[in-house]
Copies of this chain bind each other. A is one copy, B any other.
Amino acid sequence: MKRKITLKQIARELDVSISTVSKALRNSAEISDDTKQKVQAFAKLYNYRPNNIALSLKNRRTNTIGIIIPEIVHHFFSKVISGVELVANKRGYNVIIGLSNESFSKEVINMEMLANGSIDGFILSMSKETLKLQDYHHFNETMTQGMPIVMFDRVVSDVKCDKVIVDDFNGAKKAVGKLIENGCKSIALITTKDYVSVGKLRTQGYLEALEEHQMPPKAELILKIDESLDYEAHLEALEKEIEQLFQSNPKLDGVFAVNEIYALLAMKVARKLGLDVPNDVQVIGFTDGVLSKHATPSLTTVSQHAQQMGEKAAELLIDKLESEFNSADEVFQTVVITTDLVKRESTK
């Protein structure tokens, strides 16, 4: 087990100073060609690579970005990471991850753990608990210490930073508009409680679409799920709620759900009640996950372009990191990623 070789060792071995070795390796004009060749050959032989930690300490930048997400076992988030990683690597950065598990305190701890020099900036999506508590002090503190943050998807106007969001409102509006065009007269909405910003916006899109077509919204067609627990735990309870929705609205012929699982459950319930999808009921979901593509019938969805979000977030962050000179002007941008309606078998 030979340890990694350092400048000092090369210097001792070749009987020159550390400075000379360093300069020789960086092809400085100060060093004679003879010495350069000697040093470079030796370095190559021993496969010398500068120690990243030492560089980070010296340069006061780590070329690493931290990404904090509520959970990783989730198609949307892993796709975002994928996008972040792509541009980060291309621009010479590493990516370090932290999972909040939708918990406020884990989010805070994770950020503190990384903020002490380990990374140059954050890309993050807030936990549900943080959204509920509306406590954003950790974001603001991080930023006053000169560490930039880019938020994506779940954002909040109280925190001033760069943001990348999906056009939830118009995505939902388009989807519901599509259902109406397709002849649906009684369209249900399955959404989340309002503190999840994206759920709220999608709900507004639903309402707007109805209004635009002079269809009065009905409270009994709107089902708001409390997501404070994770889905998997009470899938059955959820299914019951949706079944209730169908039974108390016999004329139901369209469903817009704010995520994949809700949409799939709606289809399952429909089938159970003897309704055909898409002939009796048409269903549209939100998110471009794997489930939609492989479901039967496959699910028409509003695609969020998660990868593109990740790429854009990384671009924004790295641009900010590498501009540097500003700091006073502090102009933040919000990039909106437009959604696409991906037509599949669950709509006519």
Contact = CB atoms under 8 A, between A and B. Distances in A.
A52 B114 CA distance: 8
Interface residues of A, number: 54
A285 B264 CA distance: 21
Q: Which of A53, A96, A261, A290 has the most CB of B within 10 A?
A: A53
Interface stretch (A32-40, A78-86, A198-206): A78-86
Contacts of A112: 49
Contacts of A271: 296
Contact of A72 (B81, B115, B116): B81
Contacts of A75: 73, 290
A277 to B, nearest CB: 11
A118 B141 CA distance: 26
Contacts of A1: 144-146, 327
A54 interface: yes
Contacts of A117: 4, 51-54
A339 interface: no
A64 interface: yes
B56 A53 contact: yes
Interface string A96-126: 1111000000000010111111100000000
Nearest to A264: B294
Contact of A85 (B51, B52, B72, B144): B72
Nearest to A232: B293
A281 to B, nearest CB: 15
A260 to B, nearest CB: 9
A35 to B, nearest CB: 24
A220 B271 CA distance: 36
Nearest to A81: B72
A187 to B, nearest CB: 23
Given A4-B145, A75-B73, A79-B73, A54 B57 contact: yes
Contact of A116 (B4, B95, B294): B4
Contacts of A115: 49
Contacts of A57: 53-54, 57
A216 B205 CA distance: 60
Interface in A25-55: 47, 49-54
B94 A113 contact: yes
A3 interface: yes
B52 A116 contact: yes
Contacts of A114: 94
Contacts of A49: 112, 115-116
